[in-house]
Amino acid sequence: MNKGNYRSGLDRLLDEEFHRIQGKTVGIVTNHTGVNSEMRLNFEVLATRSDVRVKALFAPEHGVRGNVPAGDIVGDEREPATGIRVYSLYGKQRTPSKDMLAGLDIVIYDLQDVGVRYYTYLSTMFEVMKACAERGIPFLVLARLNPLGRRVEGNILEPGFQSFVGAYPMALRHGMTVGELAGWANETFEIGAEIEVIKCSGWNGQYFDELGLPWIPPSPNISSFVTALVYPITCLFEGTNISEGRGTANPFEYVGAPWIDPLELVRELEQTMLTGVMFRPAYFEPTTSKHAGKECGGVQVIVSDRERIDSCLTGLTLLSIIRALYPEETTWWHVPGMAFPFGIDRLMGTDKIRQGLEQGQEPKELIRNWAEESKEYRQACTPYLLY
């Protein structure tokens, strides 16, 4: 049951604000999360109406149906139920071209974010905003809640470390909705898009599970709200040879590798006095991704107090201890020839974390300056908050 009478921007568009697109030819940046309160997809609903025309869909990472594995190229296609042309924005081309946008009166963005900087749906939004600005096409954001609420955590991406998992200098856990981020980026970085936002209602910073809403996995491995809650803690392990639980029933909740002794790791973690988190010794065998088919030892990361946990400190402490216990086995994910050959530098938006850990710095020392950065970021974002 919807405890807070939450209504998404899509619901409000259909019921209250339809005049914004009435009689227009539209394109929609969307996927399987773009549903109304009756679980009907935005483009399927609009395709039944005679007073609007959906000419194109634009697919982010994971595709329109959300079934493409992380990092895999998404292809162009025809949406099978409606026949609408689908253009991939997660392949060789990540910005809509002039031909893709031809004939559109307005572009709609309707995707569910998870509240973390390195989620590529945000980069897709910013790229589409730039393309719309160049072509003079209005950009309409159908707002949805931030499932992680208003809390801001982590470092601000540094200049020179922009990538598709970090387009702008925002906090790792950014604390805003996509509509707010669109307004912030548009003005702060002078994108120049003509933006409108249809706000969601019934949300004022609550966590997702406080509203009694059904969870739709926004990507294949964010299978529950619990997963989303630990995602800012454990996603950094994507930049290492340690499994982040992909290929198990609990992606991002499990962290481990074949050479890790779970009991030894938990004993060390218990000495850290980290707040708001518990670690359960765990054994798991991924079916895909890192260490597929091999038994891994490690921990299940359990958030016990979401207001006391420091997600980045927790993740970095866990990584630091694993590196200290298993220095020969633990390595960075490294791809020569890329702009940022170390994956963790892309994820964290800096190389200071990797270098600091290599030099033996404590995680608390590494994040010492983040509090001031976070304060400045919050102040800069305040004028763009809509709720």
- Domain boundaries in the chain? 9-218, 225-368
Q: Write the pLDDT tens digit of every residue in 33-92.
A: 999 999 999 999 999 999 999 999 999 999 999 999 999 999 999 999 999 999 999 999
pLDDT surpassing 80 at residue 360: yes
Q: Are 286 and 292 in contact (CB under 8 A)?
A: yes
Q: What CATH architecture does domain 225-368 belong to? A: Alpha-Beta Complex (3.90)
Of residues 17, 12, 18, the one with CA closest to residue 144: 12
CA 66 distance to own-chain centroid: 14
> Once rounded to an integer, what is the mean pLDDT over residues 359-387?
95
For residue 345, how many other CB atoms are within 10 A of its CB?
A: 23
Note the helical H segments in 210-330.
Answer: 225-234, 262-270, 311-325
Which residue do the tokens 């590529």 mark? 120
Digit-coded pLDDT (tens) for 311-328: 999 999 999 999 999 999
- Name the residue type at position 106: I
pLDDT > 90: percent of the chain: 96
Angle at 42 between CA 39 and CA 46, to 5 degrees: 125
pLDDT, position 337: 84
What is the pLDDT averaged over residues 98-113?
A: 98
Average pLDDT of the segment spanning 286-301: 98
Yes or no: say if 58 and 90 are a contact pair by the CB < 8 Å rule: no
CA angle 13, 18, 24 (to 5 degrees): 120
CATH superfamily name and code, 9-218: Uncharacterised protein PF07075, DUF1343 (3.40.50.12170)
Asked whether residue 193 carries a pLDDT value surpassing 80, the answer given is: yes
The stretch 273-289 carries a mean pLDDT of 98
Query: What is the per-residue pLDDT across 348-357, written as a single tens digit (0 to 9) for each?
Result: 999 999 999 9
Q: What is the dihedral of CA 248, 253, 255, 257, to 10 degrees?
A: -10
Q: Do 9-218 and 225-368 have matching folds? A: no
pTM of the shown model: 0.96
What token pair was written down for 142?
Answer: 């159908």
Which residue blocks in the chain are alpha helix, DSSP H?
9-15, 42-47, 98-101, 120-135, 178-188, 225-234, 262-270, 311-325, 343-348, 352-358, 363-366, 370-381
Question: Do the Cβ atoms of 180 and 113 come closer than 8 Å?
Answer: no
Question: What is the model's pLDDT at position 1?
Answer: 46
What tens digit of pLDDT does each residue of 22-40 get?
999 999 999 999 999 999 9
Confidence of residue 338 (pLDDT cuts 50, 70, 90): confident
Instruction: Give the model's confidence band at 2: pLDDT under 50 very low, under 70 low, under 90 confident, else very high.
Output: low
pLDDT for 172 beyond 90: yes
Tens digit of each residue's pLDDT (9 = 90 or more) over 206-263: 999 999 999 999 999 999 999 999 999 999 999 999 999 999 999 999 999 999 999 9
CA distances from 237 to 83, 201, 379 (A): 40, 35, 30
Average pLDDT, the chain: 96
Angle at 92 between CA 91 and CA 93, to 5 degrees: 85
Nearest partner of 296 among 276, 308, 282, 307, judged by Cα: 282
Radius of gyration of the chain (CA): 21
